[in-house]
């Protein structure tokens, strides 16, 4: 089953902008914490995301926002297990697991999850690369930093981080054809560095010859350029950033608002085809 769902996801890359719908089952997510913790609520939201245009659902049970409190492995699994079974049984779309723990990834994949989304890019849990290789799951490697360094050359740091992560993946036997890179907007970076990371998407894609995933949805950075701070400003900023990222070659977009992005990408792609 993992092969079918994984390959369905990977086949879309390069064909269309791939929408990854966010399903947080945490009590403390920055945008929707606590709303989808019950199996019924999680299932309804997953179905809505797919109906709205999501191609894959990203499920996370531990907040990964900077400054969040770590969750013990068994608590993370306690949140996930009763939700994953009905989700995988009743929603045909592929699922990814947003976790930094190799054992959580292994258990989720055993139930049918097809993609590992690791916000520490194989550099936090030393077993994560082996789990990706052994299970055959697709893998998102995200750039991250423990602290913000305002003097940092973010391009050099991105390249250095991904070189290390890909070395770990190669050593474990993860196939390059199953890897995506995420520049980690909002993680360990200043506002200027986040914007620079987005501007570098084309170079990043060319340098590593791998698809790029972007996760900017509802992040405060997206409303700052306009001076706004409300939901409408965040959505407008998110759409603008993702369209700019698409223009630079990004392939997958992790978003809360699938319908808005499906509509925006339809217009964008129609214009691109006409040109």
Burial class (CB in 10 A: 0-12, 13-18, 19+), 41: middle
Please report which confidence band the pLDDT of residue 86 belongs to, taking 50, 70 and 90 as the band edges. Answer: very high
Q: What is the pLDDT of residues 176-197, one digit of tens each?
A: 999 999 999 999 999 999 999 9
Take residue 81 and report the two structure tokens written for it.
Answer: 């297990």
204 and 181 in contact (C-beta within 8 Å)?
A: yes
Gap between the Cα atoms of 228 and 240, Å rounded: 14
**Residue 225: what pLDDT?**
55
Q: Tell me, what CATH number does 233's domain have?
A: 3.20.20.20
Domain that holds residue 9: 2-274
**Number of domains making up the chain:** 1
The residue among 228 and 58 whose pLDDT is bigger is 58
Query: What residues act catalytically?
Result: 219, 254
Q: What share of the chain has pLDDT > 70, as a percent?
A: 91
For residue 133, the surrounding DSSP H or E stretch is helix 128-135
Distant-in-sequence contacts of 82-87, Cβ < 8 A, 24+ apart: 82/39, 83/25, 83/39, 83/42, 83/43, 83/59, 84/59, 84/108, 84/111, 84/112, 84/113, 85/111, 86/39, 86/42, 86/43, 87/42, 87/43, 87/46, 87/57, 87/59
The angle at the Cα of 102, spanning 4 to 14, to the nearest 5 degrees, equals 40
pTM of the model: 0.94
Longest dimension (CA), the chain: 52
Q: What is the pLDDT of residues 45-78, one digit of tens each?
A: 999 999 999 999 999 999 877 667 889 999 999 9
């Amino acid at each position: 089953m993992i092969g079918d769902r994984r390959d369905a996801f990977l086949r879309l890359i390069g064909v269309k902008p791939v929408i990854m719908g966010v399903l947080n089952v945490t009590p403390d997510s920055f945008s929707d914490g606590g709303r989808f913790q019950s199996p019924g609520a999680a299932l309804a939201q997953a179905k809505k995301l797919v109906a709205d245009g999501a191609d894959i659902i990203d499920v996370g049970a531990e907040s990964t926002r900077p400054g969040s409190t770590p969750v013990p492995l068994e608590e993370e699994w306690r949140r996930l297990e009763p939700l994953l079974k009905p989700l995988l049984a009743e929603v045909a779309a592929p699922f990814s697991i947003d976790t930094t723990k190799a054992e959580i990834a292994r258990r989720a994949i055993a139930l049918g999850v097809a993609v590992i989304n690791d916000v520490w890019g194989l550099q936090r849990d030393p077993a994560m690369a082996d789990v990706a290789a052994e299970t055959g799951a697709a893998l998102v490697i995200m750039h991250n930093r423990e602290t913000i360094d305002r003097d940092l050359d973010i391009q050099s740091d991105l390249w250095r981080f991904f070189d290390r992560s890909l070395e770990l993946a190669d050593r474990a036997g993860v196939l390059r054809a199953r890897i995506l890179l995420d520049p980690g907007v909002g993680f360990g970076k200043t506002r200027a560095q986040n914007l620079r990371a987005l501007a570098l998407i084309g170079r990043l894609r060319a340098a590593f010859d791998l698809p790029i995933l972007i996760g900017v949805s509802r992040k405060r950075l997206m409303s700052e350029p306009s001076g706004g701070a409300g939901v409408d400003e965040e959505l407008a900023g998110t759409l603008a950033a993702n369209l700019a990222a698409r223009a630079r070659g990004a392939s997958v977009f992790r978003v809360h608002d699938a319908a808005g992005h499906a509509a925006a990408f339809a217009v964008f792609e129609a214009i691109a085809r006409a040109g």
